[in-house]
Amino acid sequence: MKFYIVIPAHNEEKFLSKTLDSLVQQTLLPKQIIVVNDHSTDGTEDLLKSYSKNYSFIDFVNNKSTATHLPGAKIINAFYKGYASLDDEFDVICKFDADLIFPENYLEELANHFSKNPKIGMVSGFCYINQNGKWILENLTRKDHIRGALKAYRKSCFEHIGKLKPSMGWDTVDELLAKYHQWEILTDESLHVKHLKPTGQSYNKASKYLQGEAMYKMRYGFTITLISALKLAYKKGSFKLYKDYMRGYFKAKANHIDFLVSEEEGKFIRKLRWQGILKKLS
Instruction: Give one DSSP letter per residue of 206-226, joined into a string.
Output: GGGGHHHHHHHHTT--HHHHH
Coil, strand or helix at 240: helix
Say yes or no to pLDDT of 200 above 60.
Answer: no
Say yes or no to pLDDT of 67 above 70.
Answer: no
**CB of 249 within 8 A of CB of 217?**
no
Say yes or no to pLDDT of 203 above 50.
Answer: no
Say yes or no to pLDDT of 214 above 90.
Answer: yes
pLDDT per position as a tens digit, 5-27: 999 999 999 999 999 999 999 99
The stretch 242-268 carries a mean pLDDT of 95
The DSSP 8-state label assigned to residue 56 in this structure reads: T
Domain 3-195: which CATH number of 3.90.550.10, 3.40.50.1390, 3.60.20.10, 3.50.50.60: 3.90.550.10
**CB of 199 within 8 A of CB of 138?**
yes
Q: What are the extents of the domains in the chain?
A: 3-195, 205-281
Strand partners, 122: 153, 185
The stretch 133-157 carries a mean pLDDT of 92
Say which residues have a Cβ less than 8 Å from residue 212's Cβ, sequence separation at least 6.
225, 229, 244, 245, 246, 247, 248, 249, 250, 251, 252
Q: How confident is the model at residue 153 (pLDDT cuts 50, 70, 90)?
A: very high
Q: What is the mean pLDDT of the chain?
A: 92
